[in-house]
Chains A and B, each alone.
Chain A
Amino acid sequence: MDNIIETENLTKRYGGVPVVRSVSLAVPQGSVYGFIGPNGAGKSTTMKMLLGLVKQSGGSVRLLGREMNAENRLALLRQTGSLIESPSSYGHLTARENLRIVAQLKGVEETEIERVLRVVHLDQEKARRVKAFSLGMRQRLGIAQALLGRPRLLILDEPTNGLDPEGIREMRDLIRSLPQTAGATVLVSSHLLSEMELFVDYVGIIDHGRLLWQGPLARLQAERGGEVVVTRRSKTLEEIFLDLIHEQGEEAAE
């Protein structure tokens, strides 16, 4: 399978301090890739570098099979949808107007707007100003912006932020369905590891800017899963994750 995102030794330093260190991601086409790591691990920074929002201090990014540079960046991103940290929106505009801005800049038909509004269940609220939206509604609007134009690649940074349990389940179902229904690949980051386990098929674990492990979720569970001694059930992703970052911490201490 081809990789839709490939980075080589991607590095970011802020004022000399490395926050992403030599990360070589490989996100296979048609997969849902879960990018997990504790607070401050470098998930958002890595995603921003993939989108060219932050300039890398070293390394390279290949998106959709092409080396990304200043010239082809916007053309590549035209086939990409993203939601980084909190959604971007204009409070004085309605949901529909916010989407029209993105449609205009992406060169997407306005009929697409109605479709994505239905996908995120905002079609009843489309004429309301966004400043009156709840956090979860804004998050849905952010997803709708990312989905406009049926992108081949979605980069979603903690898309379940602010959603209620029902909303989280819908988001999970939506993300899981995207490879089949839209032929899209999804790179998604989250803290909710127990959630992630339910809908990703690849994982990348990052801590202190280092990619500790990446590969199919099934292999992670097979390699590192084992059994939890007390309850005799197999380890959850959360437990594997905590093991991995603790090992890393011990190595660093030695």
Chain B
Amino acid sequence: MRAAMLAERIKAARRHDLLLAALTGLLTALCAAVRPEEDWQRAVGYSALTVNLSLMNAVVMPLAMAALASRLWDMETRGSGCRLLFTLQSWESLFGAKALRGLVQNVVICLAEGAVFLLAGRMWGYTQALEIPRVLWLMLCTFVVNAMRFFALLALSVRSGTQVLPLAVGLACSLLSVFTAFMPERLTLLTPWAYDVPLSAMRMHYDRETRITAYEPLAFPAGLLAAAVVCGVLGYVLARRAVRDQEV
């Protein structure tokens, strides 16, 4: 497995994977962080960031994970890599190395998003107390849902042998995620790729008269996170099988 990881690192030369992952996380979270103009906004800064970021993730990450998965696999398709690799390493070690690289980039995305909480609070003087457990929860949920999206789209990349299909599916999921924000909560359970929103454990109430938005912290939905983990494991199994069945 060590050799497989090192080989994968050579393949990643000049691709700037980690930099791209960090930028994806930073930009997504920075777009979600509203610059407060009034005191009440400063007083709910982190809550607003949580709600906005969970929606941003649901919209941006399906496409980002499609790009990540297809970038990782496309080089094997283009260069008919498997024909040579499968004489040198087991399919398990190839899949393992790809999975690990994908998950590491996913961790970088989540860390970058977490960093924006610290950054935004300082830059824009949020007066709300930062609840570290909520930030960690959000990072954990983003990681799990991203892993689900990554594996499912990796399975699609491997099976289809093209970049087009996973990117198209990623884009479709991204667009559909926009609508999940306006769906009744029960319906959102049917769209696991957009679990970021129900997992955020923060609800927004908008008062039309005062034009003030209030935020209600909710208990962490552990059951839903467990469901996301199950979907992630399913995606993992699908991707693993796709690599196993790869024709050479």
Contacts and interface: CB of A to CB of B under 8 A. Distances in A.
A101 B87 contact: no
B83 A105 contact: no
Given A74-B89, A88-B85, A104 B248 contact: no
Interface string B1-35: 00110110011011100000000000000000000
B81 interface: yes
A93 B8 CA distance: 12
Interface residues of B, number: 24
A97 B13 contact: yes
Contact of A102 (B4, B15, B84): B84
A97 B79 CA distance: 14
Contact of A104 (B7, B86, B90): B7
A126 to B, nearest CB: 14
A145 B84 contact: yes
B3 A107 contact: yes
B248 to A, nearest CB: 5
Contacts of B90: 74
Given A74-B88, A101-B7, A84 B83 contact: yes
A77 B83 contact: no
B80 interface: yes
Interface string A95-114: 00100111011110000000
B88 A102 contact: yes
Interface in B55-90: 75, 78-90
A82 to B, nearest CB: 6
A90 interface: yes
Contacts, number: 67
A90 B85 contact: no
| A interface, size bucket | 20 to 34
Contacts of B84: 82, 87-88, 102, 145
A104 B6 contact: yes
Interface in B75-116: 75, 78-90
B80 A88 contact: yes
Given A53-B248, A54-B248, A105-B7, A90 B88 contact: no
Q: Which 8 A-B pairs have the closest CB atoms?
A: A88-B84, A105-B88, A53-B248, A101-B7, A104-B7, A88-B80, A90-B79, A77-B87
Interface of A: 48, 51-54, 74, 77, 80, 82, 84-93, 97, 100-102, 104-107, 145
14 contacts: A53-B83, A74-B90, A85-B80, A86-B80, A88-B79, A88-B80, A88-B81, A90-B78, A91-B75, A92-B13, A92-B14, A101-B7, A104-B10, A106-B88
